[in-house]
Structure 1
């Protein structure tokens, strides 16, 4: 059955990636449901502790990610072993990235404003893997002609240019565009050509003596944030739960 799915529904060799993505998304959804029930004091669930230590689910997530990753590699990307390894890897990755903000801040910020980064990382990862399943390849390798594929110099130049566009977009403070640009080169090109966000490395380096560029960048960033911050926060609250209000200042 796995061979039939691999041959008729998705491209050959991508079944483990599909299984990993499905396990990743399902694990995130289940984890958020359970944590929200624990937060509300409902259901039979509770935090896992060892004495006074709260065992976060990132811990079993790391173990499952390592186990599943090595299992998939050992299976050569095909066969029941590789499929099982992909599922285990997806489950582990879902548990790890659900607490990405805790790793980033080295603090329990799960239900704080900073904890939104976990939801952003999960959505970004799922979207990028979905693009890979749809047939996109990093740095536009899938856009190369047969002649370019045979010409290693041309292929390397194409990858280098697309990578450069992604780096420029990243230096301009456009993290999401840079990430998607790795998979879809035209996205990186757009990010590389647009104005940098205020405070980004590019703005500090190249807008320092250009007050007009700084003003335009600040205005564009303000308009963008005012337009999209509300809907983005609403989606994050729906997916991951609304953060706790910040404690009042003494």
Structure 2
């Protein structure tokens, strides 16, 4: 194990990234364990930090860790020593605390245990996936070939640059179509982002709002595909996430886009109480 670590992590210069990754995952698991015990009102657990009655969210501590780790990393001149790995770990730990309250930053209110709070868990999982892919040695398509091209190979560099542009365009379209994971993985594997960019958008995504008019065949087909294929995967993802992060308050999940496709029900608010059809 030590030989593998020395060969694949230390010798390849990935020790800072490895330290970031491990500290990020540990920080997320630690803070989720803490908030779940606070929510369960475990008596022996310290609980929230509330000096003078002011609830200090852990995003504040995360920002402090990120500043210490980031600034110290800029000051360290030995790029291969343990000090840089420690600063990367501090930055990773702080990043976990910040992203765990990403929904609070996005909505500017405490939505931690609401359905909107799942955005934080999604952000953490995306960060883990990205840093994990980079840790394995994967790089965005064309990255090594473009920078490693021989001097004067202008034609090869131009072709590689065109491939990179097409790939990133496909990933961008995939993200606009609401296909987050396809867009992210497509940065490393171009076929995935291109296929996702060609297929129908997720209902309610920016692309669907811009390109699929109300009552259009494309919108109806996108809703049918979403209900048949994507929704079961989303429910499985939520179950897995809540197994780790804790159960959020459940709100009846209704796709807003269905109101644009299915006929609206009559408004009965003005009918007498007890009226039956």
**Structure 1: 5+ residue stretches without partners:** none
TM-score normalised per structure 1: 0.87
Assess if the C-alpha contact under 8 Å between 1:177 and 1:188 holds in 2.
yes
The corresponding residue for 1:234 is: 239
Assess if the C-alpha contact under 8 Å between 1:37 and 1:45 holds in 2.
no
The corresponding residue for 1:51 is: 52
For residue 161 of structure 1, give the secondary structure of its aligned residue in structure 2.
Answer: helix
The corresponding residue for 1:201 is: 206
Assess if the C-alpha contact under 8 Å between 1:20 and 1:91 holds in 2.
yes
- Counterparts of residues 1-250 of structure 1 (less than 5 Å): 7-10=6-9, 12-42=12-42, 43-75=44-76, 77-142=79-144, 147=149, 150-151=153-154, 152-208=157-213, 211-245=216-250
Deviation at 1:139, TM superposition (A): 4.2
Distance 1:237 1:177, change over 3 A: same
Distance 1:75 1:13, change over 3 A: farther
Assess if the C-alpha contact under 8 Å between 1:136 and 1:183 holds in 2.
yes
For residue 138 of structure 1, give the secondary structure of its aligned residue in structure 2.
Answer: coil
> How many Å separate the matches in 2 of 1:20 and 1:120?
19
For residue 109 of structure 1, give the secondary structure of its aligned residue in structure 2.
Answer: coil
Distance 1:92 1:5, change over 3 A: farther
1:131-174 CA deviation, whole Å, 9 max, x = no partner? 11112112442466965895432332222111111111122122
> How many Å separate the matches in 1 of 2:50 and 2:233?
39
Deviation at 1:7, TM superposition (A): 4.4
1:52-73 CA deviation, whole Å, 9 max, x = no partner? 3210010010111122122223
Larger radius of gyration: 2
Q: CA RMSD in A?
A: 2.6
Distance 1:231 1:44, change over 3 A: same
1:185-213 CA deviation, whole Å, 9 max, x = no partner? 22211211211122333233333388222
> How many Å separate the matches in 1 of 2:76 and 2:33?
32
| More displaced 10-residue stretch of structure 1: 41-50 or 55-64 | 41-50
| More displaced 10-residue stretch of structure 1: 201-210 or 170-179 | 201-210
TM-score normalised per structure 2: 0.79
> How many Å separate the matches in 2 of 1:6 and 1:190?
36
For residue 54 of structure 1, give the secondary structure of its aligned residue in structure 2.
Answer: coil
Distance 1:143 1:153, change over 3 A: closer
> How many Å separate the matches in 2 of 1:185 and 1:75?
36
| More displaced 10-residue stretch of structure 1: 20-29 or 42-51 | 42-51
Distance 1:109 1:210, change over 3 A: closer
Distance 1:111 1:104, change over 3 A: same
Aligned length: 245
